[in-house]
Amino acid sequence: MKIFGWNITKETRSSKTDFYYPLLNFGSPSLYTSNIANPTVSAAINLIAGTIAKLPIVLYFKKNDDSRVRATWHPLFTLLKRKPNGEESVFTFIYRLIRYLLENGNAFIFKAQDGSGNIIELRFLNPVYVNVTRDKTGRKIFLYAGTEYTAEQILHIPSLHYDGLVGHSPMEAAKYAVEVGNTLDEFAKNSIGNGINTGLLIDTTEYLNQYGEDEDKTTTALNNIGRYYANHGTGPANAGKALVMLPKTKGTPVDISSNRDAQLNESREMQVKEIAKVFNLPLPLLTGTGTEDLEKTNQLFLSYTLSPWIRLIDTYLNQLLTPYEEERYYFETSTDPILTVSMSAKYTAYRAAIEGGIYSVNEIRAKENMPALDEAYAGNVHFIPVNIMPLTDDNVRAVLAQSKLALQKSAAESKHNKSGDDKS
């Protein structure tokens, strides 16, 4: 079969393909750890994974004139356009892919193939339980659930932090910041549990006099007093309740909230900044402040946070193609949905694109999910300004000739006006 003058043939990839699925649910399905439970880390991962997952991944075919078209006839186009497997949507699939890369540093995709070696499904393996080694020839071997797989069966996508064998999670670099953040969360939890605003200094001198020098009884009494005031004077359940003092004891409130809260807030803000650095995230996207210029923020987010991961995924997805197909086919993720701008700025850009002949009216309408105009309305026609022409020798000579005529006309008019003045 030929498409755009190029032979399209099916290529059998391997005759030694295993036609059974690996144990996909081997081990614990969850990767959640105390690091991921950190709200700032979780927000950063969800932001990156969710944003990339909503971007369309398109398989293109490069024509002989170097233009390109969507390769809608290719099976991989459908897999990464609609359903990579029988259970997951494309959004869920890519979301899991990014989370695996950020949390574990690696994503392992089993390539389910038919009898001819054509990929019919893409399934994730739990990266926690995949062991990567190399055989005598240097090729990667993947051990999973007691079975060895080769690179023909497994697509291994390592993270940006790649050591030549496996990838490493960005959270390894953020380990200290995450641990401090978890400590601050525990401190805040304990502060709420033990009393939010005030501490209570208990004077037990008079109460303990009755035990004299008996250390055992004194110790027991102190423990009982501490337990009583902890149970009746602290915690959310006792908020607003009157505290009944034990006989012969005195309580003095100690306000420690101002300094403690200030230090807690300052420390938490510092940890948010550190975690944002690890993921190359613009800080306003994590804090929700300073996002007045949404277009600029999104551009920073795309350039410094998302683009490296998008490029990584595109290049590794190309490994799903056969060597023959890689000559003309390639995957590319569209980043247009990220570049959110104001309506006025968007329509100004559309107008410039139409006037410059970049887009037709129908191409603009397609971007806005609007129906195409009929041919009678020139919806598919590309326009260019009438004062723009190709830079060719003929056009240059024509412009020079026109300029020469204009100069001659101007000189003639000037001479005529001068002769008229002399007659007067």
Query: What contacts 342, CB < 8 A, 6 or more positions away?
Result: 295
pLDDT of residue 149: 95
pLDDT of residue 159: 95
Rounded Cα gap, residues 398 and 134, in angstroms: 69
Q: Which of 116, 157, 159, 97 is nearest to 320 (CA)?
A: 157
- Report the predicted TM-score, pTM, of the whole model to 2 decimal places: 0.70
pLDDT of residue 27: 53
CA distances from 44 to 115, 206, 253, 271, 279 (A): 42, 55, 41, 13, 7
CB atoms near residue 121 (< 10 Å): 18
E strands, 159-273, in order: 161-162, 167-168, 198-203, 250-255
By CB neighbour count within 10 A (0-12 exposed, 13-18 middle, 19+ buried), where does 24 fall? middle
* Token pair recorded at residue 227: 């337990």
Q: Up-side HSE of residue 254: CA atoms within 13 Å toward CB? A: 10
Phi, psi of 387 (to 5 degrees): -90, 10
pLDDT of residue 264: 63
Rounded Cα gap, residues 416 and 424, in angstroms: 13
CA distances from 387 to 35, 193, 267, 356, 401 (A): 61, 75, 62, 11, 16
Question: Splitting the chain (424 residues) into consecutive groups of 10 residues, what average pLDDT does each group show?
Answer: 55 46 58 64 93 96 90 94 93 96 95 89 94 95 94 95 93 71 66 56 82 84 84 69 80 63 68 87 84 78 95 97 94 86 80 87 84 77 72 75 83 70 55
pLDDT of residue 392: 72
pLDDT of residue 65: 86
pLDDT of residue 415: 72
Can you tell me whether residue 366 is helix, strand or coil?
Answer: helix
* Segment holding 133, helix H or strand E: strand 130-134
Q: Between 257-278 and 39-53, two packed helices, what is the crossing angle to 10 degrees?
A: 30
SS3 content of the chain, % helix, strand, coil (to 5): 50, 15, 35
pLDDT of residue 409: 83
Cα four-point dihedral sign 184, 189, 195, 197: positive
The CA-CA-CA angle for residues 141, 142, 148, to 5°, reads 85
Contact 150, 100 (CB under 8 A): no
Give domain limits for the chain. Answer: 2-174+279-333, 196-267
pLDDT of residue 374: 79
Secondary structure letter of residue 190 according to DSSP: H
